[in-house]
Amino acid sequence: MTDPTPDTSRVLGPEEIRRALTRIAHEILESDHGAEDLVLLGIPHRGVPLAERLAAQIARAEGIEDPTQIAELHGSLDITLYRDDLRKNPTRAPGPTRIPRRGIDGRTVVLVDDVLYSGRTVRAALDALGAIGRPAAVRLAVLVDRGHRELPIRADHVGKNLPTSRSERVHVQLTESDGQDAVDIVRPSRGTEQA
């Protein structure tokens, strides 16, 4: 009898996630020469707390202590209505889009997400962003890039490149939503794989 429980491997723990985000924050600052015209927009759900963490690290590195200035560094971008799979899964509830008061026009926007896979989520985010304004530049920061792209999209800042098979899942957990920081690879159990 085969065990129906999927096989799970932890690839990043809390300390590795913290280090990856610290590195990404410094890369963003270096490529933009500071935080003056920078906006980090998290893609719900786990991209939002990642954008908040990156904004906090960037603020610390730049010596920004004013909460109002820190709030201007990040927001959220709902992509629900721009997804290309709505016909297959029409029951998605839209999330909030929160853009800093100064907006995004003429600023560098860094889209933040937890996992880059096919590229379709990022394509939807670009469409949603275009409906809001016209940034000077758009970049992408992800905690994990797992490959298997279906669209010509590449992340500018990556916490961890994680080669996976299509049958595997990358499961990201963050303290803000899941009670812990972890990235696991979940492989289907032998009993559930197709022959």
Per-residue pLDDT reduced to its tens digit, 94-107: 788 999 999 999 99
160 with 144: CB under 8 angstroms?
A: yes
According to the model, what pLDDT value does residue 1 have?
39
Q: Residue 108: helix, strand or coil by DSSP? A: strand
Residue ranges of the chain with per-residue pLDDT less than 70: 1-5, 86-87, 90-92, 190-195
22, burial (CB in 10 Å: exposed 0-12, middle 13-18, buried 19+)? middle
144 with 57: CB under 8 angstroms?
A: no
Taking the domains of the chain in order of start, what are their residue ranges?
Answer: 14-84+94-164
According to the model, what pLDDT value does residue 191 have?
57
According to the model, what pLDDT value does residue 85 have?
75
25 with 61: CB under 8 angstroms?
A: yes
Domain 14-84+94-164 -> CATH class: alpha beta
Strand blocks (E) in 43-136: 74-76, 108-116
Handedness of CA 46, 52, 53, 58 (dihedral sign): positive
193, burial (CB in 10 Å: exposed 0-12, middle 13-18, buried 19+)? exposed
According to the model, what pLDDT value does residue 95 have?
80
